[in-house]
């Protein structure tokens, strides 16, 4: 999820962030509020009754679209915001899980195009119903739930939206540091969880690759070509004394071993906070956590041919040809910047939002 600059809508969203209760249309599709709703809102008691109703229904049944079909909607209006603000991770996970399993990502507003691209690819594998978007700002929470009720949740407090996006920054470190806490929380609720960065595209269903009953499954972020039959054990440490496992795609079972790895990851992040000199992200801490929990957790390295790093897939055409048909998830890393990532996806026919937005549960954004 290495990335970059802001999109132009930023200011509009900041206004909403600073006052989540404003009746502010967020999307260009917004039209007018229904006349009946307006007259209700203008009568004081009507407004109070409505507010109470929204809060009660929103708290207890946040997934119910109790105002009916929102196609005639007032877009991201008061009702929408009130409804989702209190939606908890426990409610969200139990709503989306299938077979006790959820697929999660953590995104903020500038990543919405990548989220949509990823979702199209997941829909093609028929796993979109299991997707839960962990929104890292209120704009994302409301936008996703407006179009796809119940599939986004925000775990407060929302990180500072203005500092969270620049790869290598302290804000980005803080943002990604929330990841192991979200994952641990889901494990403690008793669910299997697959985490993905959203600069990924599924070409096939990854679930058949999660063989055996291991606690933690992950992929290698190295670019060197390995034999097809490489070991599924944690590889030996590299130059910096640690492995280069990617924190971008992780599958966890709700076992003590997996929870221990998440707890150790959280500790490692605390123990090695961001500094100007090191400009780290969450990945080294994940690798140290794996190193320290060997023996406490069953680890499983997924096959490189199925889950290559971007440094291999996008840079070694020979290898791509040799392993044709074996690729499962492609990660657009080893490059930073939204524009560069989008261009590279386009060049490889993996930017699906231009022509296939209708396949996304979010539609065209
Ligand atoms: C349900 O999950 C289990 C493991 O958690 C897996 O073995 C099984 O194939 C899954 N079933 C379906 C229908 O996805
Ligand atoms: C990151 O988190 C630390 C510790 O919570 C905090 O002191 C710092 O201000 C945060 N930085 C940014 C840019 O959000
Ligand atoms: C992979 O295959 C080669 C050649 O067939 C063999 O020598 C090697 O031991 C195998 N490696 C593993 C990890 O199974
Ligand atoms: C853990 O890290 C240490 C220090 O780099 C290294 O010596 C050791 O081999 C690593 N252990 C594993 C299981 O990778
Ligand atoms: C590219 O892939 C080929 C075929 O697997 C391999 O022999 C070669 O070493 C790779 N090149 C680089 C630069 O890693």
Task: Name the residue of 225, 229, 236 whose CB sits within 8 Å of the most ligand 3 atoms, as the mutation to test its pocket.
Answer: 229
- Together in a domain, 190 and 273: yes
* Residue 22 covered by a domain: no
In a domain, 148, yes or no: yes
Check residue 263 and give its pLDDT. 96
Mark whether 63 and 128 lie in a shared domain: no
Same domain for 205 and 278, yes or no, is yes
Residue nearest to atom 12 of ligand 2 (CA): 171
Is there a domain that residue 365 lies in? no
Q: Which pLDDT belongs to residue 317?
A: 98
* pLDDT at 290 (0 to 100): 97
Last residue of a domain, one of 65, 83, 101: 83
Q: 125 and 258 share a domain?
A: yes
Q: How many domains does the chain have?
A: 2
- Residues touching ligand 2 (Cβ under 6 Å) are 160, 163, 170-171, 174
Q: Choose the final residue of a domain: 39, 64, 83.
A: 83
| Shared domain check, 50 and 118 | no
Residue 49, domain extent: 27-83
97 with 169, same domain? yes
pLDDT computed for residue 305 by the predictor: 98
pLDDT for 138: 93
**The model's pTM:** 0.80
- 166 and 95 within one domain: yes
Q: Are residues 174 and 250 in the same domain?
A: yes
In a domain, 182, yes or no: yes
Q: What is the pLDDT of residue 16?
A: 34
119 shares its domain with 42? no
Indicate which residue's Cα is closest to atom 13 of ligand 2: 171
CA-CA-CA-CA torsion sign (293, 294, 297, 298): positive
Q: Is residue 18 part of a domain?
A: no
pLDDT for the residue 93: 98
| Any atom of ligand 1 within 6 Å of the Cβ of 213 | no
Output the ligand 5 site: residues, CB below 6 A.
Answer: 225, 316, 318-319, 322
Q: 118 in a domain, yes or no?
A: yes
3-state secondary structure of 133: strand
Q: Could you tell me which residues come within 8 angstroms of residue 331 by beta carbon, excluding any fewer than 6 positions away?
A: 197, 199, 200, 219, 246, 248, 249, 307, 308, 309, 310, 313
CA of 12 to the centre of ligand 2 (A): 24
Do residues 52 and 122 both lie within one domain? Answer: no
Strands 131-135 and 101-107: parallel
Specify the pLDDT at position 159.
80
* Claim to verify: residue 54 and residue 145 sit in the same structural domain: no
User: Does the residue 72 lie in any domain?
Assistant: yes
Task: Return the ligand number nearest the Cα of 209.
Answer: 1
Run means of pLDDT, 10 residues per run, the chain, 365 residues: 35 34 34 49 65 62 48 59 91 98 96 97 98 96 96 90 68 82 97 98 98 98 97 95 96 98 93 67 90 97 98 98 98 95 98 97 94
Asked if residue 78 and residue 146 are part of one domain, the reply reads: no
Classified as helix, coil or strand, 288 is helix
320 is a domain residue: yes
**CATH number where 350 lies:** 3.90.550.10
Q: Answer whether 114's CB lies under 8 Å from 199's CB.
A: yes
C-alpha 58/C-alpha 362 separation (Å) is 21
Angle 89-96/179-188 helices, nearest 10 degrees?
70
């Amino acid at each position: 999820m290495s990335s970059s600059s802001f999109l132009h809508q930023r200011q509009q969203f900041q206004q909403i962030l600073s006052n989540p209760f404003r009746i502010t249309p967020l999307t260009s599709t917004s039209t007018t509020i229904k006349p009946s709703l307006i007259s209700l809102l203008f009568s004081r008691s009507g407004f109070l009754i409505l507010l109470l109703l929204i809060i009660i229904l929103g708290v207890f049944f946040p997934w119910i679209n109790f105002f009916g079909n929102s196609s005639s909607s007032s877009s991201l209006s008061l009702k929408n915001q009130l409804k989702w603000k209190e939606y908890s991770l426990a409610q969200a996970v139990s709503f989306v899980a299938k077979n006790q399993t959820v697929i999660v990502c953590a995104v903020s507003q500038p990543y919405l195009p990548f989220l949509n691209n990823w979702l199209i690819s997941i829909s093609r594998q028929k796993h979109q119903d299991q997707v839960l978007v962990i929104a890292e700002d209120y704009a994302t929470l409301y936008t996703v739930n407006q179009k796809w009720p119940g599939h986004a949740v925000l775990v407060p407090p929302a990180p500072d939206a203005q500092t969270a996006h620049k790869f290598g920054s302290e804000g980005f470190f803080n943002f990604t540091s929330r990841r192991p806490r979200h994952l641990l929380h889901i494990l403690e609720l008793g669910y299997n969880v697959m985490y993905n960065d959203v600069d990924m595209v599924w070409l096939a269903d990854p679930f058949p690759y999660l063989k055996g009953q291991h606690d933690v499954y992950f992929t290698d972020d190295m670019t060197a070509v390995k034999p097809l039959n490489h070991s599924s054990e944690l590889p030996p440490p590299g130059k910096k004394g640690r492995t280069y496992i990617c924190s971008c795609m992780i599958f966890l079972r709700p076992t003590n071993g997996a929870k221990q790895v998440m707890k150790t990851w959280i500790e490692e992040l605390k123990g090695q906070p961001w500094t100007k000199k090191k400009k780290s992200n969450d990945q080294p801490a994940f690798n140290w956590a794996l190193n320290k929990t060997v023996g406490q957790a069953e680890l499983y390295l997924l096959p490189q041919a199925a889950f290559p790093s971007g440094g291999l897939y996008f840079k070694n055409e020979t290898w791509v040809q040799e392993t044709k048909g074996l690729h499962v998830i492609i990660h657009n890393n080893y490059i930073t910047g939204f524009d560069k990532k989008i261009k590279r996806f386009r060049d490889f026919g993996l930017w699906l939002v231009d022509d296939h937005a209708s396949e996304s549960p979010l539609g065209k954004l």
